[in-house]
Amino acid sequence: MKRNIISALLLCGCVGWAQAQITEFDAMAAAKTDLNGTARYMGMAGAFGALGGDVSAIKDNPAGLGIYRSSEVTATFGFRTQNTASNWNGSTDSDGRFKFTFDNVAAVTAFPTWAGRNGGSGLLQSNWSLSYNRLKSFNRRMRVGANGLGSSMTDYLAGFTNGLTPYDLTYVNNETEYYDPFESADIPWLSTMAYETFLINNISGTDPATGATVDTDQWASALFEGETVNSNYYLEESGGISEFAVSWGGNISNVVYLGATLNFQSVNYRMTSRYAEDFGMGTELGEGFTLDNNIRTSGLGINGNFGIIVRPVDFLRIGLAYKTPMRYNLTTTNDGEMYSTMLTDGSVRIAEGEGSLQDYNSAPASENQYDYEIHVPGKLTVSAAWIIGKKAIVSADFGYTNYRNLKMYDMENAYYYDEYNDAIRETFSNAYEVNVGAEYRITDHVSARLGYALETATMKQSAIKIPQLNTARTDLEYFRNRGTNYITAGLGYRGNVWYIDAAFVYSDLHEDFIPYNTLDSDPATLHTRHYNVVATIGFRF
């Protein structure tokens, strides 16, 4: 038995919510990249900041382009297997996906100067490159579930709705008045969805003047006292971040190498999620609800890289690079839908066994589109490499990013995201990256490689997502990053004019998953593991 039917316009979806918004967790998704590149680069865990001579090293320290003495074209491809294992309240689950990848293609043109051709000093090489790099893959499929939970999203929705009346949440259309809660910047669309599907009930009061029963602005969950729920969450993500770069690198007297890069990035993200609860007292009849969400984000960004490598002695190289802040202009579209199956008597849920009919209730879907900016903070990288004769290389990079400086801006109202930027400063953290790699030349043509990389957590474990009253977003879940570990290995063959490399990369991302803010249950723990196999083929001339 549905409440008042909301207009056909809403059933078809509305576009242009007055103050739709993203959160700081959306911004972090665009700010963080993966360990990706050529097979040699990945086989040494990306520890190339002081080495150079590899097209993927240019994106970390463009001074590495100055190392080249000959021109080169190269391409990298492979496949990736993803698996996410979850543990929520003692219940475990896992899911994953397989995908072929195209990670890198680049062309380097090496131009020796007059001094370089004639054995002089000063600028010996002036090199240029055009490159494409897949910086991040969003592709992931996961499931999380738990049984017998003492808390329900309906409890959160009731508390979230306190302060509003049934009139605030109901569509009214007659000859004398028109009211549409979707178009109100003061009404959370989640509250209207929960009201339409009987998941929250208004707490009635008494009019002191007349003694009549009246609606109040207080709400309660439809669940009974002590009732438990079984919860399930499904997520599928796709897309990635791609970078197109134009770079220059120079060699000064084979001692100092300089470089600069102009980067253009493209973001493409798709997410589909489903959160569902089965209620304890109506399990046999299938009582419960489902909340579906879809999010699509796309846009462009631009930034620059600057770097230097110094070779004070033949066996040592020291590198320093700075990646300037990235400015993204993004567009996000989201839509949500909620439906429930309840035992109802009029508009009140009753206990199983009292003879009531089961009822299917749904709230209208909504669609919203909005534009905004994200300014990702810059990154500083210090690196060193040791060349051990003609047999081995050991290298290490140390990167630093202060994610507390991440900023979000509305395209029209510069002040709109102030509270989120304040939250970023409070809950995001300094993040560090450590990359260590080694290469050993087995023969004149064959080399073996090993590497390890560590990325620390990007946010404090106190970080929470708080939907605002003026949001049409209906996804309450969020993920807290707790760091990533990489273990890598590779082999390479070098011919006179061509080469081929292969690498295996294992990564383990640790996260907390929170379906909605509650103190009654612990977060689920997630381990997202990737198993990447990549190959690079290149030609030098």
User: What pLDDT is stored for residue 260 in this prediction?
Assistant: 97
pLDDT tens for 271-321 read 999 999 998 765 555 788 999 999 999 999 999 999 999 999 999 999 999
Q: How far is CA 253 from CA 48, 68, 169, 308, in A?
A: 21, 13, 73, 14
Query: Would you place residue 370 in the very low, low, confident or very high pLDDT band (cuts 50, 70, 90)?
Result: confident
CA–chain centroid gap for 223, Å, is 34
Return d(Cα 183, Cα 5) in angstroms, integer: 16
Higher pLDDT, 204 or 79: 79
- Name the least confident of 354-358, 443-447, 525-529: 354-358
User: What pLDDT is stored for residue 360 in this prediction?
Assistant: 59
Burial class for 329, CB neighbours closer than 10 Å (0-12, 13-18, 19+): middle
Note down the domain range covering 66.
8-80+92-487
Return d(Cα 336, Cα 475) in angstroms, integer: 8
pLDDT tens for 413-425 read 656 677 778 888 8
Return d(Cα 48, Cα 69) in angstroms, integer: 17
Q: How far is CA 433 from CA 27, 55, 106, 385, 396, in A?
A: 19, 20, 25, 16, 10
Average model confidence (pLDDT) across the chain: 86
CATH at 263: 2.40.160
User: What pLDDT is stored for residue 15 in this prediction?
Assistant: 34
User: What pLDDT is stored for residue 361 in this prediction?
Assistant: 64
User: What pLDDT is stored for residue 469 in this prediction?
Assistant: 65
The rounded percent of the chain whose pLDDT value lies above 70 is 87
pLDDT tens for 11-23 read 233 333 334 466 7
pTM over 0.75: yes
pLDDT of 467 over the 90 cut = no
Is 178 inside a domain boundary?
A: yes
Query: Would you place residue 460 in the very low, low, confident or very high pLDDT band (cuts 50, 70, 90)?
Result: confident
Is 538 inside a domain boundary?
A: no
User: What pLDDT is stored for residue 5 in this prediction?
Assistant: 33
Return d(Cα 437, Cα 395) in angstroms, integer: 5
Is 495 inside a domain boundary?
A: no
Return d(Cα 334, Cα 366) in angstroms, integer: 8
Is 518 inside a domain boundary?
A: no
Is 455 inside a domain boundary?
A: yes
- Name the least confident of 163-177, 219-233, 470-484: 163-177
What total of structural domains would you count in the chain?
1
Q: For every residue of 300-353, which 3-state class applies, written as one string?
A: EEEEEEEEEEEEEECCEEEEEEEECCEEEEEEEEEEEEEEEEEEEECCEECCCC
pLDDT tens for 234-265 read 999 999 999 999 999 999 999 999 999 999 99
Query: Strands (DSSP E) along 32-150, which ranges?
Result: 72-88, 91-109, 123-137, 140-149
CA nearest to 473, candidates 223, 204, 191, 240: 191
User: What pLDDT is stored for residue 362 in this prediction?
Assistant: 64
User: What pLDDT is stored for residue 531 in this prediction?
Assistant: 96
pLDDT of 2 over the 90 cut = no
- Name the least confident of 105-109, 262-266, 396-400, 458-462: 458-462
Is 86 inside a domain boundary?
A: no
CA nearest to 458, candidates 421, 424, 419: 424
Higher pLDDT, 462 or 133: 133
User: Bridge partners of 95?
Assistant: 84
Burial class for 112, CB neighbours closer than 10 Å (0-12, 13-18, 19+): middle
Half-sphere exposure of 511 (CA within 13 A, CB side): 20
Q: Report the pLDDT averaged over residues 90-114.
A: 92
User: What pLDDT is stored for residue 9 in this prediction?
Assistant: 26
User: What pLDDT is stored for residue 359 in this prediction?
Assistant: 58
Q: How far is CA 369 from CA 19, 165, 299, 311, 335, in A?
A: 10, 27, 13, 51, 9
The rounded percent of the chain whose pLDDT value lies above 90 is 58
Q: Report yes or no: 40 and 64 within 8 Å, Cβ to Cβ.
A: no
DSSP 115: H
User: What pLDDT is stored for residue 427 in this prediction?
Assistant: 85
User: What pLDDT is stored for residue 212 in this prediction?
Assistant: 79
Q: Report the pLDDT averaged over residues 311-337.
A: 92
Query: Strands (DSSP E) along 195-287, which ranges?
Result: 200-202, 205-206, 213-214, 219-221, 229-252, 256-279
* Phi, psi dihedral angles at 21 (to 5 degrees): -155, 165
User: What pLDDT is stored for residue 536 in this prediction?
Assistant: 97
pLDDT tens for 119-161 read 888 999 999 999 999 999 999 999 999 988 888 999 999 988 9
Q: How many helices (H) and strands (E) does the chain have?
A: 8, 26
CA dihedral angle for residue 238, residue 326, residue 331, residue 182, rounded to 10 degrees: 110
User: What pLDDT is stored for residue 364 in this prediction?
Assistant: 57
Is 345 inside a domain boundary?
A: yes
CA nearest to 349, candidates 214, 160, 171, 202: 202
Higher pLDDT, 300 or 198: 300
Instruction: Give DSSP secondary structure letters for 376-443.
Output: EPPEEEEEEEEEETTTEEEEEEEEEEEGGG-EEEESS-TTTTHHHHHHHHHHB-EEEEEEEEEEEESS
User: What pLDDT is stored for residue 119 in this prediction?
Assistant: 82
Is 68 inside a domain boundary?
A: yes
Q: Report yes or no: 101 and 80 within 8 Å, Cβ to Cβ.
A: yes
Q: How far is CA 46 from CA 52, 60, 397, in A?
A: 11, 9, 8
Strands 379-388 and 366-376: unpaired
Residue bearing tokens 């470089």: 259
Strands 256-279 and 229-252: antiparallel
Q: How far is CA 6 from CA 53, 154, 309, in A?
A: 63, 21, 64
